[in-house]
Amino acid sequence: MRLTIPEEEVLSSGHLACPGCGATLAMRLALKALGRDTIVVIPACCWSTIDGVFPNSALGVPVMHIAFEAAAIAASGIKAGLIAKGNTHTQVMAWAGDGGTFDIGIQALSGAAERNDDIIYVCYDNEAYQNTGIQRSSATPYGAWTTTTPRKHPKQEPKKNIADIMSAHRIPYIATATVAYPEDFVRKFKKAREIKGTRFIHVLSPCPPGWKMKEQDTVKVSRIAVKSCVFPLFEIEDGKLKINIKPSKRQDVRDYLKLQGRFSHLKEEDIKRIQQELDKNWQNLLKREEAHEG
């Protein structure tokens, strides 16, 4: 047997995640990569509930829960506290949802990034405020149904480009990752562990109840997201972009959309528009990579 990711389980079973939860698979992989010398900060999000109920916890590492908007700075505060006590080795990881990253948490994240605080900031992105019942966030993609963007008036705005925002802060490491590519996921977290400064990892986390998809499709959907270039896998290291996976034959975005009930109301012109935006964004990304290599 040759395992392609670390064997040890840090996250234990018995947690409260929905069956098939992408965010939980993501945490399982992250902790395998980072190991036990890690402290996790969780703001208000699905993971506030998933970790368990007092007096029990499912994470095998220390956790501090914190208010919704403060994940990044709470992590910075913990890191400062550790350094004050002479501990420079323990990793501090903020683990926030898209709400706590793109919206209410963006100020603290920007502040931490501008100061280049020595933390790993992970946004597990299930593309809506899932924990409070599937309300839209600025990470919700164009056309998606949520409870605040109902079928008669689905989300009109495009998904906010968080990687670009973080890139503008000139932090040492930015990466995208998703659960269908666990080796790539683990590699990125291990790499992040070795870098000093603010490291930002954006994880696409399919959510069966929120995306109205089958529980067993979580990994499949995240794979198609990469193969159709809805969610390209890339890294930006010291400002230099490197795309990790370039599908030789890009999958049609329909394959991605048809697995998710949150897109079932889309008309043909919406799907065409989505495909066009996607094509444009993908071409731009390729051009940016080329510019960095040249």
Map the footprint of other proteins across residues 218-277, applying CB under 8 A. 218-220
Quickly count: other Cβ atoms within 10 Å of residue 265's Cβ.
14
Contact criterion met (CB below 8 Å) for 173 and 120 = no
Concatenated DSSP letters of 17-48: PPTT-HHHHHHHHHHHHH-SSEEEEE-SSHHH
Contact criterion met (CB below 8 Å) for 278 and 230 = yes
Shortest reach from residue 234's CB to other proteins, in Å: 22
Shortest reach from residue 242's CB to other proteins, in Å: 25
Contact criterion met (CB below 8 Å) for 259 and 224 = yes
From the list 32-40, 146-154, 224-232, 234-242, the region that binds other proteins by CB under 8 A is 32-40
Shortest reach from residue 233's CB to other proteins, in Å: 17
Instruction: Report the residue from 30, 73, 213, 226 that binds other proteins according to the rule CB under 8 A.
Output: 73
Residue 237 forms beta bridges with which residues?
173, 240
Instruction: Report the residue from 33, 45, 46, 76 that binds other proteins according to the rule CB under 8 A.
Output: 76
44 or 274: CB nearest other proteins: 44
CA gap 13, 63 in Å, rounded:
16
Map the footprint of other proteins across residues 91-120, applying CB under 8 A. 107-108, 110-111, 114-115, 117
Tokens matching residue 214: 């089958």
The Cβ-side half-sphere exposure at 132, using a 13 Å CA radius, reads 15
From the list 23-31, 145-153, 230-238, 261-269, the region that binds other proteins by CB under 8 A is 23-31
Map the footprint of other proteins across residues 117-156, applying CB under 8 A. 117
Residue 168, interface with other proteins (CB under 8 A)?
no
CA gap 73, 118 in Å, rounded:
11
Tokens matching residue 248: 């030789």
Q: How many residues make contact with other proteins (CB under 8 A)? A: 77
Instruction: Report the residue from 30, 46, 74, 152 that binds other proteins according to the rule CB under 8 A.
Output: 74
Shortest reach from residue 67's CB to other proteins, in Å: 6
Residue 12, interface with other proteins (CB under 8 A)?
yes
Look at the alpha carbons of 276, 279, 283, 286 in this order and tell me if their dihedral is positive or negative.
positive
Instruction: Report the residue from 157, 215, 238, 290 that binds other proteins according to the rule CB under 8 A.
Output: 215
